[in-house]
Structure 1
Amino acid sequence: MERSRQIIIAGAGIAGLTAALCFSARGYAVRLYERAETLSEVGAGLQVPPNASRILDRLGVLDRLRPAAVRPESLVLRRAKGMAGITRLPLGDAAEARWGAPYLVTHRADLQSALLTAVRHDPDITLVTGATVNDHATHAQGVTVSVTHDGRIEHVHGCLLIGADGVWSQLRGQVDGAAQSRFTGHVAWRTTLPADAELAQELANILPRDRVTAFMNPDIHLIAYPVRTGRAINLVALMRGEDYGQKWEARPGSAAFLSAMEAASPQMGRLAREAGPWVAWALHAVGDGAWQDGRAVALIGDAAHATTPFAAQGAALAIEDAAALARAMEASRGDPAKALPLWEKVRKPRAAAVVRRGAFNHFVWHARGPIALGRDMVLKLRKPEALMADFDWLYGYDAEAAVRG
């Protein structure tokens, strides 16, 4: 029996949708299963840096995303107390010229919509919602997957099964040596503020619609940027907190959250009180473990390596994973036993480097006392060219080119 040319994917979030498009572009038939009956995306804004947008461009998705996204002109770091500007990283034209692809900010639902539209227009991709991937068996011809759909159990054959089912992945538990998710001790508080709201107008000097702004503070930091073509401002505050479990939860703002925002600055205090509703998300991470079984199963995105958002690379890493895996299969002539170790060998160091960058950002943004003063002095002395050079390894990365057969 010949090896199947079908790819089976569990999970139709950003990772799964991207993987479906990447494999279809290389001539594979794809069956994409999603547990939910309808695809609706929780969350708010996300950043699409050049290392991700270059892949979306190759897939024909970038042109679908651009009308809803914003291309910020810069990233500005401010000290929350007093709102002093510390440094500015050029983006916009400068980013596109240097890294060969745009830096965009968008609403998560808009990115998912752009991907989903491309998937639905692709005749080689079959999307099945309301379907649960149960278990699987690998064999010489690939993998057979048990799927529950419409009350019936189906057995689907493919050459590769991809787990793109998120931080609480069920498929991860079926991969020997895979790590488990754990609470990081951090909570993200999110909301979107209409750009024409009175509060947004009154704080327009610190919430401009043409940039990403990070407000640094020892106990809580706030990220703000425009989404929905600039019609709304995405706000996300990150701090230590309790584990709220496996869900987004709209809350009026806990006493600890309100206190931290008030202490950071009067402006952040106003946002905590008057913007909203704020949604709390307990941040879970997946530690170092196996991402593939060496035969016919791979984990991508948060299912493999969920981490904190301090590097703003969660969606980008998922997109990179998908593109690199499809390239590895191509380089290995469709043999998963060769492709999976090759892919993991390339992707693990990359993800680890991004995690280290996130930890560094957290240290820098939450510095206090003399360390914060030193941080401000060093950053103010750095020229824009030097700042951009610091990100060449991150934003200039080409996930497909990194895979050598």
Structure 2
Amino acid sequence: MDIPHPGKIVIAGAGIAGLTAALAFASRGFAVDVFERSEKLEEAGAGIQLSPNATRILDDLGVLQFLLPKAVQPEAVILRDAKTLRELARVPLGAMAQKRWGAPYVVAHRADLQGALLEAISLQPAIQLVKGATVRSVTVGDGGASVSVDQSGKSEPADARLVVGADGVWSSLRGGANAKSRFTGELAWRTMIDSQSPQGRAFAEIGSPDSVMAFLHPGFHLIAYPVRSGAAFNLVAFTPGKGIAEGWSGKADISILKQAMRNTAPALAQLAENAGPWTAWPIHTVDPNAPWIAPGLALIGDAAHAMTPFAAQGAAMAIEDADTLAAYVAATPDDLPTALAAWEASRRPRIEKVARRGAFNHFAWHARGPVALARNLVLKTRPPEKLAADMDWLYGWKPSGR
């Protein structure tokens, strides 16, 4: 096994960010240890949208070949009025996405993406995945970094060339005053329904089962799309709500969702009653101005910049982070501080722009009264091709050197 770069990359977390980072570093000649606190890898959540800026990287890393057989390439993103079900706008995807942006737009179950990442990792002898191991702290010395890893009731040190914090929004490596995430006041309600079930067939009648659908309403919005090769629909609704226990699922009063969906089209409102059980997820963010790097350490994905999901770019930004970080470190392997500073400086403007797009989407999708009328008028005058062109900056992005 040829490992041209001395010293190991230690990654905390085996989610999408951590596994992508492992592949990105290994593909550039680094040995990688991934420590995951869970004994069993179980990806939280259900569905995930992967736009071309993400699938392009996954393809280069050998992941997409394992994901596509279980995923769906939707024909469009369709915006609908939740009260009338009237179509407001359509962004074409499918073959158009592949042609315009050079990579597919894919929707999938998160477990299928994680499985594809693990399949790709199994082909990389330079990567070691250790489960049931928690990275507690990072210490920097003259020879590099060292981490304290808790496993089987014992704490052991592990040396590292670089430690990558990919342990999510509740990161244990994000220290100082910015260690705590912030609850946004929004809950994400998630469920998955079999496409051949009564609920699945009823849902297919009110939308386009081969597309990503967004149902807009002042009090909430609902995103739905097919997963598992079309065998199921992933549904996620967003409503205001009170904070619940930290974690990727929790108990919340389902009446919040029912109330939010009550004044929508009857077929849509019935989903709150019939499509469950629904799981509530609190939406947390991280201070966008907090540092992502420290001596010997770089944070990626939600650990660095958890944002609201309204641009459907959380996973994509983590994938971009992972690949670009590996590229910067590989470009100047003997000057890690310079590499990390340059990487952070290159990523911040894009992350900020994506976050602004998500905030704009939330404002537009929850508009009411004259603002909603103006929104609908603007959408009506924008042909699908123009709406697609509006996303060139996001979906057409390519990492340098890829």
Task: Output the TM-score relative to the length of structure 2.
Answer: 0.96
Range 384-393 or range 308-317, more displaced: 384-393
Aligned ranges for residues 27-38 of structure 1 at < 5 Å?
27-38=29-40
Aligned ranges for residues 103-142 of structure 1 at < 5 Å?
103-142=105-144
Alpha-carbon distance between aligned partners in 2 of 1:31 and 1:283, rounded to the nearest angstrom: 30
Alpha-carbon distance between aligned partners in 2 of 1:344 and 1:296, rounded to the nearest angstrom: 14
- The answer to whether the 8 Å contact 2:52/2:395 transfers is yes
Letter in 1 for 2:350: R
1:174-216 Cα offsets, whole Å, 9 max, x none, are xx57463100011000000110011221232324321000000
Letter in 2 for 1:291: W
Letter in 2 for 1:114: A
Question: CA, structure 1 residues 130+350, in 2 after alignment: closer, same or farther (shift >3 Å)?
Answer: same
Unaligned runs of 5+ in 2: none
* Alignment pair present for 1:48 and 2:41: no
- The answer to whether the 8 Å contact 2:9/2:32 transfers is yes
- The answer to whether the 8 Å contact 2:101/2:392 transfers is yes
Alpha-carbon distance between aligned partners in 2 of 1:168 and 1:400, rounded to the nearest angstrom: 30
Who is 1:267 aligned against? 267
Give the match's secondary structure for 1:205.
Answer: helix
Who is 1:332 aligned against? 332
Who is 2:293 aligned against? 292
- Cα deviation for residue 135 of structure 1 reads 1.4
Who is 1:375 aligned against? 375
* Alignment pair present for 1:279 and 2:279: yes
- The answer to whether the 8 Å contact 1:252/1:277 transfers is no
- The answer to whether the 8 Å contact 2:196/2:231 transfers is yes
- The one of 64, 67, 88 equivalent to 1:65 is 67
Alpha-carbon distance between aligned partners in 1 of 2:364 and 2:184, rounded to the nearest angstrom: 18
Who is 1:200 aligned against? 200
Letter in 1 for 2:306: A
Range 204-213 or range 297-306, more displaced: 204-213
Alpha-carbon distance between aligned partners in 1 of 2:299 and 2:237, rounded to the nearest angstrom: 29
- Cα deviation for residue 117 of structure 1 reads 1.7
Alpha-carbon distance between aligned partners in 2 of 1:85 and 1:148, rounded to the nearest angstrom: 53
Identity %: 53
- The answer to whether the 8 Å contact 1:215/1:223 transfers is yes
| Number of aligned residue pairs | 398
Who is 2:91 aligned against? 89
Letter in 2 for 1:238: F
Who is 2:77 aligned against? 75
- The answer to whether the 8 Å contact 1:291/1:299 transfers is yes
- The answer to whether the 8 Å contact 2:84/2:264 transfers is no
Give the match's secondary structure for 2:371.
Answer: helix
- Cα deviation for residue 325 of structure 1 reads 0.1
Alpha-carbon distance between aligned partners in 2 of 1:391 and 1:206, rounded to the nearest angstrom: 26
Question: CA, structure 1 residues 313+334, in 2 after alignment: closer, same or farther (shift >3 Å)?
Answer: farther
Give the match's secondary structure for 1:78.
Answer: strand
- The answer to whether the 8 Å contact 2:23/2:121 transfers is yes
Question: CA, structure 1 residues 126+25, in 2 after alignment: closer, same or farther (shift >3 Å)?
Answer: same
Give the match's secondary structure for 1:203.
Answer: helix
Alpha-carbon distance between aligned partners in 2 of 1:396 and 1:179, rounded to the nearest angstrom: 33
Give the match's secondary structure for 1:133.
Answer: strand
1:262-290 Cα offsets, whole Å, 9 max, x none, are 12331221100001110000100001200
- Cα deviation for residue 8 of structure 1 reads 0.3
Who is 1:387 aligned against? 387
- Cα deviation for residue 252 of structure 1 reads 8.3
* Alignment pair present for 1:170 and 2:172: yes
Task: Output the TM-score relative to the length of structure 1.
Answer: 0.95
Give the match's secondary structure for 1:256.
Answer: helix
Who is 2:305 aligned against? 305
1:273-314 Cα offsets, whole Å, 9 max, x none, are 001110000100001200001x21000000001111100000
* Alignment pair present for 1:323 and 2:315: no
Who is 2:345 aligned against? 345
Range 336-345 or range 142-151, more displaced: 142-151
Alpha-carbon distance between aligned partners in 2 of 1:334 and 1:264, rounded to the nearest angstrom: 59
- Cα deviation for residue 132 of structure 1 reads 1.3
1:95-133 Cα offsets, whole Å, 9 max, x none, are 111111000000111101111122233110011001111
Alpha-carbon distance between aligned partners in 2 of 1:132 and 1:179, rounded to the nearest angstrom: 17
1:361-399 Cα offsets, whole Å, 9 max, x none, are 001100001111111111011012211110001001113
- The answer to whether the 8 Å contact 1:285/1:307 transfers is yes
C-alpha RMSD of matched pairs (Å): 1.7
- The answer to whether the 8 Å contact 2:166/2:300 transfers is yes
- The answer to whether the 8 Å contact 2:328/2:339 transfers is yes
- The answer to whether the 8 Å contact 1:76/1:214 transfers is yes
- Cα deviation for residue 401 of structure 1 reads 4.8
